[in-house]
Amino acid sequence: MIEYIIGDATEPTKKPALIVHCCNDVGLWGKGFVMALSKKWPEPEHNYRRWHRAISMRNTETGSSPTLTLGLVQFVLVEDKDVTVANLVGQRGVRTKHNPSPVSYEAIEAGFKRIRDAFWNMTPKYSIHMPRIGCGLAGGEWNRIEPLIEKHLHEFEVYVYDLPS
């Protein structure tokens, strides 16, 4: 079940909480929801950048693309020990004139499956909190994301946050 809330997804209404957001695969962090995350906790950005740097160095040595694999999820425990942030790689590159919708619905779906598998048996039970993932800078459509949440995360209490007008 999805409950829609007007508020800030970095202030989860129920804990323990998993805050899920969409990252790009090229290591850029600096616009959109990630700014609120970075303002609240340094760990998600720091771990994401370190993760991308490590993958980039390894892939450059092997001749592969220096990008993160779409659909992977990095779980980051933050200073507030009842909150974990999920850096879900669900966006190919960043939005540009030539790439107006970098969202990958397949990657977001794969990420939701990974989240379900990692957190389903956790005790106490985690609630999931997110903005309208993939629909801001990634250019996605909520009517395509919402069914993926309902399909793969229906066992969880899911809270989707919209900022106040």
Please state the domain extents for the chain. Answer: 2-162
Give the pLDDT of residue 32: 92
Mention every residue, 6+ apart, whose C-beta is less than 8 A from residue 136. Answer: 32, 33
CA-based nearest residue to 108, from 88, 127, 130, 94? 88
Q: Answer yes or no: are the C-beta atoms of 78 and 116 closer than 8 Å.
A: no
Give the pLDDT of residue 92: 94
pTM score of the predicted model: 0.94
Give the pLDDT of residue 133: 96
CA-based nearest residue to 89, from 73, 105, 65, 112? 73
CA distance 105 to 127: 22
Percent of the chain with pLDDT over 90: 79
Give the pLDDT of residue 104: 97
**Residues in a beta bridge with 17:** 83, 127
Query: 2-162, which class in CATH?
Result: alpha beta
Asked whether the CA dihedral 152, 155, 156, 160 is positive or negative, the reply is positive
Give the pLDDT of residue 63: 72
CA-based nearest residue to 86, from 34, 40, 123, 137? 34
Segments in the chain below pLDDT 50: none
Give the pLDDT of residue 27: 93
Give the pLDDT of residue 1: 85
